[in-house]
Amino acid sequence: MEQPMRALVTPFAPAVVAVALLAQVQGVQANDCQTIYEAYEALSKAPAYRQTMAFAGVPPMELIAIGDAIYMKPGPSWQKLPVDPGTRASMQKQTMPSAAALKDCSRVGTETVRGQPATIYQYTPPPMEGAGPLGPQRVWIGTTSGLPLRMTSQQETTDVNLFYENVVAPIP
């Protein structure tokens, strides 16, 4: 009985292996999308962070979020933008509603960011309302904290760095 079973399985072996490999690749992407989503969710709930942003052809900008207050420095001086409780999390949900909304998620390497080990992920975010499709982006997620440490976008030539320690309000 073993011989007929082997004869039946052998012609299908390449197809079975291909399906198994495809399922593994898709599973990795789904897990990678979940990891990326969870990092941004953690960012929206972080008690405080400072973000520096560099855009091609635009002077660098800085943002500080502490609780429900956001401070922006689009030029030489700071501005305080009070927000309602939960607004940061709500804004995150609008830009990235779920892990399933992310596409082409994959790990692309590891790197140390300001002394912190990080895993680099590439993904395509969901299109934003009123804007065209967004291109691939990368995020460096701290392996210890699970928080985004750096983000880049090829389409907008953007480089964003995030800091979570010793964050203080720049103005009252």
Q: In 104-121, which positions are buried (b, 16+ CB within 10 angstroms) versus exposed (e)?
A: ebebeeeeebeeeebbbb
pLDDT of residue 135: 87
pLDDT of residue 18: 33
Are the C-beta atoms of residues 72 and 86 closer than 8 Å to each other?
no
Residues 46 and 83: their CA atoms lie apart, in Å, by 15
The one-digit pLDDT tens for each residue of the chain (172 residues) are 444 433 333 333 333 333 333 333 333 456 999 999 999 999 999 999 999 999 888 888 999 999 989 999 988 899 998 788 888 888 888 889 999 999 999 999 999 999 999 999 999 998 877 777 778 999 999 999 999 999 999 776 889 999 999 999 999 8
52-98 confidence digits (pLDDT tens): 999 888 888 999 999 989 999 988 899 998 788 888 888 888 889 99
Q: Token pair for residue 26? A: 């898709």
Residues 113 and 54: their CA atoms lie apart, in Å, by 17
SS3 readout for 118-156: EEEEEEECCCCCCCCCCCCEEEEEECCCCCEEEEEECCC
pTM of the model: 0.78
Q: What is the DSSP string of 69-127?
A: EEEEESSSS-EEEE--TTHHHHHHHHH---GGG-EEEEEEEEEEETTEEEEEEEEEPPP
pLDDT of residue 131: 74
Q: How many CB atoms lie within 10 A of CB 51?
A: 19
Kindly state the greatest CA–CA separation across the chain: 82
